[in-house]
Amino acid sequence: MSRIGKKPVPVPSGVTANVSGQTVTAKGPKGELKFLVNDEVLVKLENGQIAVEPRDDSKAARSRWGMSRTQIVNILDGVTKGFERKLEITGVGYRAAMQGKNLQLALGFSHDVVYETPAGITIATPKPTEIVVSGIDKQQVGQVAAEIREYRGPEPYKGKGVRYAGEKIVRKEGKKK
């Protein structure tokens, strides 16, 4: 039994949630998001709460039960507060800057890397060594942050590269004479 799936999801004030068939729609101050729930899970809106339960006792239905509830919580949080992911850049000469809607990264290559910001995502560079990715869709924010980190991930000897804020890098010892 899913412990997460048992709890109903309260709809926060200022958000209008709608369940039609297998589609959950949330509209709030930051925007509107939809989530299509798997057919093996039943979704109901009752008394300002969204209840999620499996259609039968099969393993597939039970495994998708908790995930569906978590996705619904994420869309409700997204339309009220939004999500953000911070990245740090470490290394001599490594820096980031916004150029219009594009993020320009100097990461030690012979050329600057230009990352086009997708729709629904906001990228800010408060410092040249800091990037803040924000938006209402948690999956999309994480995906954009992962794509930026992928250009030059942190290396294990000096720790140079792009890393998530607070990420611990396992350092290796260099050569010894």
Q: Are residues 97 and 121 in the same domain?
A: yes
Position 118 in a domain: yes
Which residue, among 82, 78, 87, 60, has the nearest Cα to 145 in the 3D structure?
87
pLDDT digits (tens, 9 = 90+) for 75-104: 999 999 999 999 999 999 999 999 999 999
For residues 105, 107, 111, 113, the Cα torsion angle rounded to the nearest 10 degrees is -30
The fraction of the chain above a pLDDT of 70, given in percent, is 99
Q: Calculate helix-pair angle for 59-80, 138-151, nearest 10 degrees.
A: 90
Which residue, among 50, 49, 66, has the nearest Cα to 1 in the 3D structure?
66
Q: How many domains does the chain have?
A: 2
Position 120 in a domain: yes
pLDDT the model gives residue 4: 83
Q: Are residues 51 and 90 in the same domain?
A: no
pLDDT band at 176 (very low <50, low <70, confident <90, very high): confident
pLDDT digits (tens, 9 = 90+) for 137-172: 999 999 999 999 999 999 999 999 999 999 999 999
As a whole number, the mean pLDDT across the chain is: 92
Q: Are residues 12 and 52 in the same domain?
A: yes
Q: Are residues 111 and 61 in the same domain?
A: no
User: What is the reported pTM?
Assistant: 0.88
Position 29 in a domain: yes
Q: Are residues 48 and 107 in the same domain?
A: no
Q: Name the domain boundary from 17, 50, 80.
A: 80
pLDDT band at 57 (very low <50, low <70, confident <90, very high): confident
Q: Are residues 69 and 114 in the same domain?
A: no
Half-sphere exposure of 35 (CA within 13 A, CB side): 25
Q: Are residues 96 and 69 in the same domain?
A: no
Whole-angstrom Cα distance, residue 153 to residue 143? Answer: 15
pLDDT the model gives residue 118: 95
Q: Which domain holds residue 97?
A: 83-164
Q: Name the domain boundary from 56, 80, 104.
A: 80
Q: Name the domain boundary from 29, 49, 80.
A: 80
pLDDT digits (tens, 9 = 90+) for 61-81: 888 998 999 999 999 999 999
pLDDT band at 135 (very low <50, low <70, confident <90, very high): very high
pLDDT the model gives residue 2: 64
Position 173 in a domain: no
> What's the CATH code of the domain at 111?
3.90.930.12
Position 175 in a domain: no
Asked if residue 67 lies in contact with residue 111, where contact means CB atoms within 8 angstroms, the answer is no
pLDDT the model gives residue 174: 87
